Structure 1
C-alpha cells in the first residue's frame, strides 16, 4: 500500500501580510491569495486525485474550491485540518504577542511542546497529535491513492516533521510558502517526504511564519 498526499497551504490573506496570527480566526483570502489559488489549481490540472480534503476555515475553503473546480473534485471539509489554536495570541501580530506576553511568547518561540496558549489554545504536542491522527486516517481511507489536502502553515510544519523525522522542538529550517505544493507518502507503516515547497507556479508567496 502506498498513498501520495499533496498538501497545499492556503493562499495569502491580509493577516499573513501583516504577520498576524490567525489560528482558528476565520479570515478570507486577499486578492493575491485568490490569484495564488487559481495558479495552484492550474498547476495541478494534470494530476488525478482520488479524494480531496480541506480545513473548514474560509481561507482554506477558497483555495480548495479553486483547485476542486479546475480538477473536477468533490471536497470534504474537516475541522481537524484547521490551524493550531493560538488562544490569546490570535489576532495579534507576532511583535504584539511578544510585547504583550513575553514569557508565553518565549515558550512559543522555543517550541516548548507542553506550552498551551491561554484562552482555549493548544499545546504543540496536542496539535501534533491531532494532525498525526487526521493524516493517518485519511491515508488509510485511500490505500494506493493520491489525495489532495488544503490546510495551514502550522499544520504543514507538523507534517514536514512527521515525514522527515525532525523533532517538534527543533527550529524550523524548511519553508512553508502560501499556495505551494508539498508531497508526502505513506506506505502503511511510515511517512516519507517526496517533495516540498514547490512554487514554480507562483509569482510570489509569503512565508511569514516564525523560524521557531
Structure 2
C-alpha cells in the first residue's frame, strides 16, 4: 500500500466515522414527538328496501367511496382542522394556513376504511387532538348525510386512537452519515490529489 493510498483510506474512513457519529448524534438531539393514528369505519345504513336486483351492493360501495372521499377532504380544509384544534382545547401553533393541511395525513384504504395519522409534541396533546378528530368527523358526517326524511345514509365510527412515541431509526441515520462521510472523504482526497 502506497503512502498516497494509505492517506486516502484514512480520509475516507475518518470522515465516514465522523458522519456516522453525527448521524447517530442527530437522533439524540431531535425533538421527541408522538405518532397518532385514528381509523374510521364507514357503514351504509337505512337502505331502501327494493325487490330489484342490487348488483351485489356495487352502488352502495360506490356511494361509500364518494362519502369517504368527502371525509378525507376535510383533512385538507383549514376551517375543519381549526375546529378540531378548538374542540381539543389546544393551540395549533402554526405560522400560516397551509400548515394545517400538512399536519394530517388521511388515507382511504377501502371505501369503508379511512385512517388519519398525525404527530404531536406531547402524548397528552396527541390524546386530546385524536379525541377531537373523532368527535368532529362523527359530528360532521351526521349533519352531512341525511335524506329528505332526516335519516342518515352513512354511519362513521372512529376507533380508539393509537398513540406511540416516535422512534428515530438510529441505524438509518448512522448509515446515511457514514455514506455521506465516505463520499466527502473521497471528494477531499480527490481535490487534494488534483491540487498536487
Aligning the two structures, in what range does the TM-score lie when normalised by the shorter sequence? under 0.3
Query: TM-score when scaled to structure 2?
Result: 0.26
Structure showing the higher helix proportion among its residues: 2
Higher gyration radius (CA): 2
TM-score by length of 1: 0.25
